[in-house]
A and B are shown apart, each in its own frame.
Chain A
Amino acid sequence: MTTSNNSMKSTFWRGFRNGLPFILVVAPFGTLFGVAATEAGMDILQVMSFSVLVIAGAAQFSALTLLIEDAPTVIILLTSLAVNLRMAMYSAALVPHFGKLRTRLKLLISYFLVDQAYAMGIKEYDANPEQPIENKVAYFFGIMLATAPFWYISTYLGAALGASIPEAFSLDFAVPICFIALIAPMLRTIPHIITAFVSVALALSLAWVPYSLGLIIAAILAMMSGAYAELKLGVENDT
């Protein structure tokens, strides 16, 4: 009992240490989201609710951008939730490891199922699939303790700061720059690059389509061209 408790504790702290470098990713995004959302007119409760209830940077920035563009609510939701669809893949990949847990723990893990936690967790579980399920859970929450609080805190600091930054700093541009920082590491393979290229080209040429529908059309066609390119090129792919 004591031994398994000890190994659980040490696994938790190993997850925590392995999660710490993600602060460098999470803190700037959180801060910039807080700043950008506040500048766009959201109050602190709205900004914090966004980061605490949704915890998904890219989708939050998408929603914010489309809110500013006054897109219809349905379009905002379709687009932003599409950005989060990748998490269904994470959810499926974790079933072999967490499928037998109590519902309450699965609910909690699902809430925290962000990119960083998934990437680190799955690496650990695939390398060492036979370890006890308690250790896998401990590792996951170790990563989360190292990252989630910084997401909340940095959002808050950004929101508190946002109101006091003068317009001369061109912070409207923080959002596109943040997106670029998010997208650039995604361009790992030729199909990904093709997808991004088609997305940009079509989004620009369909910008005239009302209700921001042009973006949805562009995204669907870009996604199909990426999948098609992968099929033709036979690219061996990670997520």
Chain B
Amino acid sequence: MIPDPGKIWPVIIAMAVGTFFIRYSFLGLLGDRELPAWFLRHLRYVGVAVLPGLIAPLILWPQATGGTPDLARILAAAVAVGIGIWKKSVIGTVVFGIGTLYLVQYLNG
């Protein structure tokens, strides 16, 4: 659950505006200009720098178990990473990841 629902609308609005201006930045505002190589080199890694760090704690210390590491979730995540890298299929990753979670939970009773 979101503990403070008062934050939801400000986040939606600010993200809508911010994301739009990121998309419009060069096309509409900055035009055709060379970006420095070092800047592009860093920009390439922003996504892969933020997202894994964001989910690692969710996998290791899930809210649903009160933060205690849970074997089913760790195995499910490992399977999902494997399928994701191997097959690059979104549906495959989600199905096998969630499937592993249910399977291990079922086997553990």
Contacts and interface: CB of A to CB of B under 8 A. Distances in A.
Given A46-B8, A204-B57, A99 B27 contact: yes
B19 A59 contact: yes
Interface in A180-239: 180-187, 191-192, 195-200, 202-204, 207, 215, 218-220, 222-224, 226-227, 230-231, 237, 239
B12 A203 contact: no
A6 to B, nearest CB: 28
Contact of A226 (B48, B81, B83): B48
B67 to A, nearest CB: 10
Of listed B27, B41, B60, residue having the most chain A CB within 10 A: B27
A49 B19 CA distance: 14
Contacts of B90: 24-25, 28-29, 181-182
Contacts of B101: 170, 173
Given A177-B94, A230-B41, A76 B19 contact: no
B107 interface: no
Given A173-B76, A183-B48, A184-B93, A215 B54 contact: yes
Query: At the interface, is chain B mostly helix, strand, loop or mixed?
Result: helix
Contacts of B59: 176
Interface string B1-27: 111110111111111101110111111
B71 interface: no
B50 A79 contact: yes
A73 B7 CA distance: 7
Interface stretch (A62-70, A123-131, A149-157): A62-70
Nearest to A109: B27
Given A56-B19, A87-B19, A183-B84, A239 B44 contact: yes
Interface string B58-89: 11111110000000010011001101110011
B42 to A, nearest CB: 5
A103 interface: yes
A41 B2 contact: yes
Interface string A4-35: 00000000000000000000110011001000
Interface residues of B, number: 74
Contacts of A59: 15, 19
Query: At the interface, is chain A mostly helix, strand, loop or mixed?
Result: helix
A32 B97 CA distance: 14
A196 B48 contact: yes
Contacts of A73: 7, 10-11, 14
A67 B3 CA distance: 8
A107 interface: yes
Nearest to A186: B48
Interface in B42-57: 42-57
A82 B27 contact: no
A176 B27 contact: no
Of listed A96, A98, A178, residue having the most chain B CB within 10 A: A178
Interface of B: 1-5, 7-16, 18-20, 22-28, 30-32, 35, 38, 40-64, 73, 76-77, 80-81, 83-85, 88-91, 93-94, 97-98, 101-102, 105
Q: Please provide the 7 A-B residue pairs with the shortest distance between their CB atoms, ordered closest to farther.
A: A184-B84, A203-B53, A226-B45, A53-B16, A222-B49, A181-B93, A199-B53
